Amino acid sequence: MSHKKVKRIGILTAGGDCPGLNAAIRGVGKTAIVEYGMEVIGFSSGYTGLIHKQYVELKEKDLSGILTLGGTIIGTSREKPFKIVTEDDNDKPELIKQNYHDLGLDCLVCIGGNGTMKTAHLLSKIGLNVIGIPKTIDNDVWGTDLTFGFDSAVLIATEAVDRLHSTANSHGRVMIVEVMGHNAGWIALYAGMAGGGDIILIPEIKYSMKSVISKIKQRYKHNKPYTIVVVAEGIEHPKNMSAARYLAESIQSKLDVEARETVLGYTQRGGSPSPMDRILATRYGAYAAECIAEGNFGTMVALIKNELTTVPLEEVGGKMRLVDHNHGLVLKGRKMGVSFGDD
Ligand code: F6P
């Protein structure tokens, strides 16, 4: 198949940030410039920059020294240009289309999570050449086995769990660590298993307080002086407090034990990406540039069984990859005595 030679591409990062965004920008940009002689621009603050034509030219030298940096050098936002809140919002898709053509773009690379991919698909439906790159600490983008940002978040959360063991032991306490994940419990599952958590609670598996209490009691009965609970922020709990606070209060009201909570919050999204995230973001970025050169548009780059591939954006939008009840790590955890709060 013959394609018009691609000359100028735009990159944006949208949605919540995560470690590895700069590595991905660098991967796309350097490959596009060095290998294919393309020009690259970076839109400021996600889809906001695309609507308002705010961008910077990215030369090869601008992409040096950013591999290890956390955050995103071009900024991000949660702007959703197809969401109609006020009348002015109606104009956004048309503005984007106009800006894309005015700037002489041949392709737009959208780096983001589920919401970003949904918008990317809608942009490709109105005629733009779009390629998506999946990122998020939550690891919940449908169509890929892994998103970058996840490994770094698991590293940070695991270190926190590791550190809590000794202080929990000294005081004989129940320590509750809350990690991110509104819908998906990937971080809790991985950090919980990597850090030797005794109870792991995730949104996908319905827990009962009775089961949590019985596990803690059982541990004391077996002379285990403390208990570590790793919980995803999205488990069912009253909205006026964190999931961890709710668990701590509930446990203390039912057992004669001290319970303490630690909410990791945005520490999981900040700072330098792990080596594995740098590699994954670099692979995705470089592969996205290859897809552009081949004219493989309307797709998201993905990793399936450790092989790079693409999936159509229309299959990705609006879906979410959640932890399966029968996920191998859940089953292994259960066999080792880890409680998921449902037994
Ligand atoms: O999508 C990633 C994520 O980190 C979620 O796990 C978290 O709940 C959410 O973003 C918080 O995002 P913000 O406060 O930036 O909107």
CB neighbours of 33 closer than 8 A, spacing ≥ 6? 39, 40, 59, 60, 63
Band of residue 3 on the pLDDT scale cut at 50, 70, 90: low
User: How many residues make up the chain in this entry?
Assistant: 343
pLDDT in tens, 95-120: 999 999 999 999 999 999 999 999 99
d(CA 279, CA 255): 46
- Ligand 1 contacts CB of residue 181 (under 6 A): yes
pLDDT of residue 1: 46
Q: Is the model's pLDDT at 2 over the cut of 50?
A: no
pLDDT in tens, 27-72: 999 999 999 999 999 999 999 999 999 999 999 999 999 999 999 9
Q: Calculate how far, in angstroms, residue 16's C-alpha sits from the geometric centre of ligand 1.
A: 6
Domains and CATH numbers, the chain: 8-149+273-316 (3.40.50.450), 152-269 (3.40.50.460)
- Which tokens hold the place of 175? 């320590």
Q: Calculate how far, in angstroms, residue 251's C-alpha sits from the geometric centre of ligand 1.
A: 27
Q: Calculate how far, in angstroms, residue 32's C-alpha sits from the geometric centre of ligand 1.
A: 30
DSSP state of 34: I
Nearest CA to ligand 1 atom 9: 16
d(CA 244, CA 201): 10
55: nearest Cα among 75, 38, 41? 41
Report H helices in 60-185.
92-102, 114-125, 150-171
Q: Are the C-beta atoms of 119 and 15 separated by less than 8 Å? A: no
pLDDT of residue 330: 98
Q: Is the model's pLDDT at 6 over the cut of 70?
A: no
pLDDT in tens, 143-186: 999 999 999 999 999 999 999 999 999 999 999 999 999 999 99
d(CA 261, CA 170): 16
Band of residue 90 on the pLDDT scale cut at 50, 70, 90: confident
43: nearest Cα among 12, 83, 15, 65? 12
Q: Is the model's pLDDT at 262 over the cut of 70?
A: yes
DSSP state of 61: G
Q: By three-state DSSP, how is residue 157 classified?
A: helix
pLDDT of residue 87: 75
Q: Which atom of ligand 1 is closest in space to residue 268's alpha carbon?
A: 4
- Which tokens hold the place of 38? 């393309």
Mutate to test the pocket of ligand 1, among 269, 320, 323 (most ligand atoms within 8 A of CB): 269
pLDDT in tens, 191-231: 999 999 999 999 999 999 999 999 999 999 999 999 999 99
Q: Calculate how far, in angstroms, residue 265's C-alpha sits from the geometric centre of ligand 1.
A: 9
Q: Which helix (H) or strand (E) holds 28?
A: helix 21-30
- Ligand 1 contacts CB of residue 135 (under 6 A): no
pLDDT in tens, 155-167: 999 999 999 999 9
Q: Calculate how far, in angstroms, residue 330's C-alpha sits from the geometric centre of ligand 1.
A: 24
pLDDT of residue 317: 84
Q: Which helix (H) or strand (E) holds 142?
A: none
The distance in angstroms from the start CA to the end CA of the chain is: 56
- Which tokens hold the place of 249? 């209060």
pLDDT in tens, 272-311: 999 999 999 999 999 999 999 999 999 999 999 999 999 9
Q: Which atom of ligand 1 is closest in space to residue 187's alpha carbon?
A: 6
Q: Which listed residue (106, 138, 151, 198) is catalytic? A: 138
Is residue 140 among the annotated active site residues? no
d(CA 192, CA 188): 5
pLDDT of residue 289: 98
Q: Is the model's pLDDT at 318 over the cut of 90?
A: no
C-alpha 89 chain-centroid distance: 27
d(CA 272, CA 56): 23
